[in-house]
Amino acid sequence: KNEVEQSPQNLTAQEGEFITINCSYSVGISALHWLQQHPGGGIVSLFMLSSGKKKHGRLIATINIQEKHSSLHITASHPRDSAVYICAVKDGNQFYFGTGTSLTVIP
């Protein structure tokens, strides 16, 4: 069993839809990162959070430490949001990565 589980693995949405990607983890946590990876590109850090909620533009990330669960929401999705979204949990000095959620937003 992976230490970090993401769902769904693949997601296709129409432009403008509200999108939610979920992340559950079984390890201890000092911080949780949401990362975005475009095809052929590097990885961009979207959020680092250890409690509560953070918002950046159309992106919102929440975390529930007690339930060991985090969600990434995208409001008013756009085709340029198409990418792989990866959840990474920091436990001490070690990162545990999910396998990613591949999002495709159709115009």
Partner 1 sequence: EAGVVQSPRYKIIEKKQPVAFWCNPISGHNTLYWYRQNLGQGPELLIRYENEEAVDDSQLPKDRFSAERLKGVDSTLKIQPAELGDSAVYLCASSLWVAGELFFGEGSRLTVL
Note the residues at the interface with partner 1 (CB under 8 A): 4, 30-31, 33, 35, 40-45, 48, 86, 88, 90, 93-95, 97-100
Q: How far is the CB of 76 from partner 1 (least distance, A)?
A: 26
Helix (H) or strand (E) holding 86, with range, is strand 83-91
Indicate the residue among 44 and 106 with the shorter CB distance to partner 1.
44
At residue 67's C-alpha, the angle toward residues 52 and 19, to 5°, is 65
Indicate the residue among 38 and 53 with the shorter CB distance to partner 1.
38
Please choose, from the candidates 99, 31, 27, 33, the residue with its C-alpha nearest in 3D space to the C-alpha of residue 61.
33
Indicate the residue among 35 and 105 with the shorter CB distance to partner 1.
35
For residue 50, the SS3 value is coil
Q: How far is the CB of 72 from partner 1 (least distance, A)?
A: 15
Give the Cα separation of 89 and 29 in Å (integer): 6
Indicate the residue among 17 and 68 with the shorter CB distance to partner 1.
68
Helix (H) or strand (E) holding 49, with range, is strand 43-49
